[in-house]
Amino acid sequence: MRQAMVVRWTKWMGLVLLAALAPVTPVQAQAPARQAGEISALVPVDHVWRGRKDLQAAKGMPVLWGDRIVTERGGRVRVRLNDSSILNVGSQASLTIEQHDQATQRTNLQLAYGRMRASVVRITQPDGGFQVRTSAAVAGVVGTDMFTDAAQIYTTVIALGGGLVTVDPTNPLYASMRTILNPGEAITIVADQRPGEKRLATEEELSGAFEDTEVDELVRINPRMTLPGRSFDATITGRGLASATAVSFQREGLTIQMRGPATVTQIPVRITVGANVPLGTYPLTVQRPEGTQTGLFIIASEQQIRAAGAPAGLQIPPPTVETITAIRGAKFLMDASATTTPPGTSIVAFTWRVIETRLSSNEAQFTANTSLLPPGDYVIELAVVNDRGQVAKQRYNLTVLPGPQPPEIIRDLASGYESLQPNQFLKHFDEEQFRNYSGFAASVEDSFRNQLETVRVFQRPVNCTLNEEQDQAVCQVDFELLFTKKEQPTEFLDSNGNPFPPGVPAPLNAIPSKRLLAGAERTTVRFGRADKGWKIVDYAAEVSCPGGTTVAGVNVGSCILALGSFSTPSFQILNLQVSTTDLFVGGTITGSFDVSPLGGFNGQVTFAGSGTVLGVSVSGTFTPNPSSSLGHVDFVISAPTTIPAGFTGADPFVFTIAGSDASGTISKSASLNLVLKGDFSLSATPVTSTGSPLSVARGGLVSFTVNVIPGPGFPTTGIVTVSIPNPPAGFSVTPASASVPAGGSTALDISVGTGAALGPATLTVHGTFGGLVKTVDLFLDVSPLPPFSLTQFTTATAPLTLLANSSVVIGITATQNISGFTTPVTLTFGPLPAGVTVTPSTATVNPGSTQPFTFSFTPAANPFANFGVANITVTGSAAGIPVQTTTIVLNLGTAGALPFSLFSSPSSSTVTMTSSTQISSSFNVIVSSATTFNQPINISMGTPPPGVTISPSTFVFTPGLSGSSVNYTFIVDPAVAQPGAYPVLVSGVSGGISATTTWTLNVRGAFSLSLSPQNTAITPAVLPPDGTTQTSFNVTVTSVNNFAGSVTVSFSNPFGTAVTFTPGTSQAVNVPAGGSAVATFTLVAAVGVANTQTLSGFISGSSTSGSPLNSISGPFMTIGPVGFTLSPTSTGTFVADINDAFSTPTVQTTVVPLGNFGASVDFTVVSSSVPAGVTVSPVTQRVAAGGFARFTLRAVSPAVVGNYSITVDATSGTLPVQTFTINFRLRGQLTMTLTEQTTGGPPGSQSVPLTLAPSGTLTFNVSVGGINGFTGSARVRV
């Protein structure tokens, strides 16, 4: 039986590409990769990436460990693994076979993106497992040990049938929140969010899981979903069905028969489903001579079938065009905000990605930047996820066209010159971004139409630099220009086109013509790229004009462009713009405009600005001033600093900008319509934002204080109208509007109705003064449930008995209904019965915590007046949240001895969280009852602290039948639990009698020790014995599982009086929860230590608040004079063959400096220790401190087999001699000869091949001899 699951995942394509482009580790010699299976079927185009090689996928191709299967658009691959499991990889997916061990049944797959369906054989090995890892979740068979190390947008897992599937989120915060899926169930995990609930997979999801990953041609069954135990008629639809010979299911209890002849498009069938057929999906097979076809059939629950007819879930509007076509550089907005989700749900994630690129977004809107996409065809995919885990997808086709490139545009410019058509020349200019385009175009128009007669252009090679991602390009181009002008006089020219010199008559046959004028233009053309592709935004030329004149500058053009002019010199004010038309009292606004010459104007222009509002002057300043005839001017307009008489809060006026040349005869002006306003702003408390909204439940009330903050010039008597117009449906605001003076504030109460939409809500507060409107946004998060509720153990059917002149303790818990709700809850009590008191009378408790209260009963003078059942109301209040209540039920009884009592044993338990593994332990509650008491006692456990579970939560104890105690098991989860002491109340109730006991759980954290520097015996720290040189060691104490408290760090002193420790051999540090603290030990060696000592210390830690996870042996410390050691001092015994040219072993040792030793060391081979026939090279060598000495050995005859040691002395100055010992063994060699003895003949040596005749026999001898002193036995195998 196979277990089937489908994993569908979407991630940021930028990360996929980064992973694909990550550096590849150099391939080293290694054993061939193991085969995991083979490709059994495919739909092209598909690839198998093996290391760096991209292999074209093919049917029958082996699939190895480490292979990455990548499918392109429309491609699909089916892989049969060695254990017969089947992997179906859908279109545009990437799946890596990390491991598949058939013997141990361990399979690990990595799905980078796309869809994959797996049919897995039953796991029978104890350590076996099958898991699929994505960047957001891990899916596998129950019992599999799972691991993941990534996080992305979302993962959807569906259990298709045959068994259970586990799903684990990758976020370590939710590592313990495993979900187990039954067949037909699904879950979507959104990255970095708490996992939601599992759900029934929809019919669309189940069919998509099959159809989007199937390789065979598909058919469809109608109906395709039913309940177990049903029989019905159905129809198979598809193509080419007339030749079908059989239809079948492979599942026992599921039968199908043809009930009539097949047509080209239909097969009528009868389907019978056994009552015991499990829920799940089952493939249908249609047999045909031309090939098999496959369809999907679903056995579902009644709930799934009802859900199939329910309204649709997430709905994304369909694309308006089939294919988006854009020229590279275009940036267009795609908007998914119109996506609808079912009532009661909200959208939690958007994912846009351009498949197989880095472009992606997780916002509702996505700007597709085609500058980052080379020309070609692409697919943009949108996925939307709601808080129920439903997913909707939409795909959009995109075609990116290259458009004309800058070198082509330069060639078009040359053609435009020669054509003398202004439109042809200007078609590649950006009219908006090109400065003074109108003036430039007018000059071109006049030159081409009125001045020039002919133009020839000679263009040299173009040099262009393109920055594709920033949409910028620069081209350097040289133009050689030959032209004639319309008004140019004709002349008699010689054969070279030059006029005859003065005094030289022209030939009689000479014809007057126009001389060609020459100009040279070196131009820097800058391009920008937008929706219409590359456009010219800047044209800076240095030109050489006829007569030797040189002109340079931005947008000068060339000699022939400068010919264009207007009849009268003048200038224009163009592109006038301001930052805003609202000028606030005491404030400023900025603006700019361009100056463009007309008719050959080349003088300077001086500008002035003026305006009047309510009789008060408004001035402006200009930079630069004066301006050149062709330039850009910035200006600042300053408002009056005092309020003009009659000011209404918004008074319009005209501001005029006037410019004139130095003579004052040429002038131009432009006007701006502005409004003088008094400014103010709004603020609201509490402060909210999109990332930190204020939580409020349906039916709740929140209050905000809105403040009116006057700005410069705002009238002190101004009254601002504050309101929230058009609040969202279900919200109401009180008051509807308020009049607030400058500097004042008002309270707005916002009521959230039961019909308000769940999730984020934004209300915009408007402040209106005259025509001036300011706003501030209020961000709320509407929850479906009150974020907390109150719980305690008494009920109307199980009251707690409170005897006269006695007390009981009742714990009240503020249960956290909404994750992240942390607002403190204030607990108060309603009227108390006469004689009953409670301590404390009120308290504040954090959500998720329990507050114990002591109830005491002292009867009045009439001892029976107050007896009986009493109800006490407890009210919990939190800011902005509807109050929550619970009722404590007491049975006020007479004084006297209780018939039973409870005791916890032990009274307290202590656990230490040393790792992430859950801790399990137990304790007992002892029940002591009177001999005659035999009534059942309902024992209930109070609420444990977060991260702790206690079972059983309730137990019915019967005296005489249940022993003398109840055993309780408690489990502490270090991922949630916090260190501290937690009392837990245990209550026993029988009839109207009750008794309690308290068990206390002490949760302790742990800490670890680490050392810096971490020295070893190979690289010890050296401390000279001079009494002053210091060396320090830092011991870092790190909190584990939120440990907090004082830790005493102790450093044992193995050196005795030779070393002193500062501040001592032990010191205390305070470690914060989740943090660390450092203890520093400083060591000084006493004067007079003559011999070098290398010793190891021991470091340990202790605390009353937690336990150490480790101790540290070390550091290794050398005390003594400066010197060196060798590492190693001797070699292991190695083998060398005599007379073997290839057997030349090499050994080495390293000079390890001690202290400040920096001299060199001389190595000498002791010749007397070298055996005959053995050579060592080099015999001597000098090695620097920290370097290594290397020696090579060779053995030749007459060397003798045996074990040997060679001594090498190492010396440096007067330091003691160190030795390095080389240990080795010499061995000889074997020779073998082969002699043949034919059947029936005498033996003899023959240099002939051995021949074995059919049905014959062959006898041969092998002789073995030793050379180079070899002795011993040899094994010969045939």
Q: What is the 3-class SS of 727-753, one letter each residue?
A: CCCCEEEECCEEEEECCCEEEEEEEEC
The reply to whether 600 and 673 lie within a common domain is: yes
* Measured distance CA(70)–CA(46) in Å, rounded: 6
Domain span at 50 = 3-21+33-211
Q: CA 890, 892, 893, 894: dihedral to nearest 10 degrees?
A: 150
pLDDT digits (tens, 9 = 90+) for 245-258: 999 998 888 999 99
pLDDT of residue 706: 94
SS3 state of residue 55: strand
Residue with tokens 């760090």: 1049
How far is C-alpha 1228 from the chain's CA centre?
63
Is the predicted pLDDT of residue 1121 greater than 90, yes or no? Answer: no
Which one of 565, 592, 608 terminates a domain? 565
| Bridge partners, residue 969, by sequence | 922, 951
- For residues 937 and 990, the answer to whether their CB atoms sit within 8 Å is yes
Which helix (H) or strand (E) segment holds residue 1267: the answer is: strand 1259-1267
The average pLDDT across 68-89 equals 90
The reply to whether 1278 falls in a domain is: no
The reply to whether 775 and 820 lie within a common domain is: no
pLDDT of residue 220: 92
CB under 8 Å to 687, separation ≥6 — which residues? none
The average pLDDT across 805-822 equals 80
The mean pLDDT of the chain is 80
DSSP 687: -
pLDDT digits (tens, 9 = 90+) for 750-791: 988 877 877 788 899 998 886 677 899 999 988 776 778 888
Which one of 660, 677, 694 terminates a domain? 677
The reply to whether 1209 falls in a domain is: yes
pLDDT digits (tens, 9 = 90+) for 1028-1066: 778 888 899 999 988 888 999 988 877 777 788 888 888
The reply to whether 376 falls in a domain is: yes
Q: What is the 3-class SS of 467-536, one letter each residue?
A: ECCCCEEEEEEEEEEEEEECCCCCEEECCCCCECCCCCCCCCCCCEECCCEEEEEEEEEEEEEECCEEEE
Q: How far apart are the first and last CA of the chain?
A: 47
* Measured distance CA(329)–CA(11) in Å, rounded: 25
Is the predicted pLDDT of residue 294 greater than 90, yes or no? Answer: yes
The reply to whether 1246 and 1188 lie within a common domain is: no
pLDDT over 90 percentage in the chain: 20
Q: Which two tokens stand for residue 539?
A: 């044209």
Q: Which two tokens stand for residue 887?
A: 């009722």
Is the predicted pLDDT of residue 1243 greater than 60, yes or no? Answer: no
pLDDT digits (tens, 9 = 90+) for 649-694: 778 999 999 999 988 888 889 889 998 887 888 999 999 988 888 8
Is the predicted pLDDT of residue 1237 greater than 80, yes or no? Answer: no
* Measured distance CA(79)–CA(36) in Å, rounded: 9
Q: Which residues of 396-405 are buried (b: 16+ CB within 10 A; e: fewer)?
A: bebebeebbe
The reply to whether 418 and 456 lie within a common domain is: yes
The average pLDDT across 1082-1107 equals 75
Is the predicted pLDDT of residue 8 greater than 70, yes or no? Answer: no
Is the predicted pLDDT of residue 1090 greater than 60, yes or no? Answer: no
The reply to whether 921 falls in a domain is: no
Cα distances (Å, whole numbers) of residue 886 to 603, 790, 825: 88, 6, 13
The reply to whether 1197 falls in a domain is: yes
* Measured distance CA(800)–CA(193) in Å, rounded: 42
pLDDT of residue 1260: 66
pLDDT of residue 626: 92
The reply to whether 646 falls in a domain is: yes
Which one of 719, 754, 783 terminates a domain? 783
CB under 8 Å to 642, separation ≥6 — which residues? 585, 616, 713
Q: Which two tokens stand for residue 207?
A: 């069919």
* Measured distance CA(1106)–CA(259) in Å, rounded: 76
CB under 8 Å to 421, separation ≥6 — which residues? 448
The average pLDDT across 1108-1126 equals 75
Q: Before 725, cis peptide (omega within 30)?
A: no
SS3 state of residue 1063: coil
Tell me, what CATH number does 1128's domain have?
2.60.40.10
pLDDT of residue 17: 24
Pairing of strands 731-734, 745-752: antiparallel
The reply to whether 69 and 154 lie within a common domain is: yes
Q: 149-158, 824-833, 902-911, 1011-1020: lowest mean pLDDT where?
A: 149-158
Length, in residues, of the chain: 1278
Q: Among 161-165, 368-372, 713-717, which range has the highest average pLDDT?
A: 368-372
The reply to whether 653 and 792 lie within a common domain is: no
The average pLDDT across 132-139 equals 84
The reply to whether 769 and 794 lie within a common domain is: no
- DSSP letters spanning 329-388: T-EEEEE-TT-B--TT--EEEEEEEETTSS-EE-SSEEEEEGGGS-SEEEEEEEEEEETT
The reply to whether 420 and 523 lie within a common domain is: yes
The reply to whether 671 and 729 lie within a common domain is: no
The reply to whether 496 falls in a domain is: yes
Is the predicted pLDDT of residue 962 greater than 80, yes or no? Answer: no
* Measured distance CA(218)–CA(292) in Å, rounded: 9
- For residues 1041 and 917, the answer to whether their CB atoms sit within 8 Å is no
The reply to whether 954 falls in a domain is: no
The reply to whether 621 and 644 lie within a common domain is: yes
The reply to whether 713 and 790 lie within a common domain is: no
pLDDT digits (tens, 9 = 90+) for 422-468: 888 889 998 888 877 877 788 788 888 888 888 888 887 888 888 77
Residue 635: how many other CB atoms lie within 10 Å:
21
Q: How many folded domains does the chain comprise?
A: 10
Tell me, what CATH number does 589's domain have?
2.60.40.770
- Is 1206 or 1114 the better-scoring residue by pLDDT? 1206
* 206 φ/ψ angles, rounded to the nearest 5 degrees: -65, -45
* Measured distance CA(168)–CA(148) in Å, rounded: 9
SS3 state of residue 782: strand
pLDDT of residue 245: 92
Residue with tokens 């336990």: 1107
Pairing of strands 993-1012, 1106-1108: parallel
pLDDT of residue 285: 93
Short-list 1141, 1131, 1140, 1142, CA closest to 1201: 1140
pLDDT digits (tens, 9 = 90+) for 382-417: 888 877 667 788 888 999 998 888 999 988 888 888
The average pLDDT across 548-573 equals 48
Short-list 54, 124, 66, 69, CA closest to 99: 66
Short-list 204, 193, 158, 187, CA closest to 315: 204
Q: Which two tokens stand for residue 1060?
A: 């002193």
Is the predicted pLDDT of residue 550 greater than 50, yes or no? Answer: no
The reply to whether 546 and 586 lie within a common domain is: no
pLDDT digits (tens, 9 = 90+) for 505-549: 878 777 788 888 777 777 788 898 888 889 998 877 666 655 434
DSSP 833: P
pLDDT digits (tens, 9 = 90+) for 838-886: 999 999 999 888 899 999 888 765 444 456 778 899 999 987 677 888 9
Is the predicted pLDDT of residue 749 greater than 80, yes or no? Answer: yes
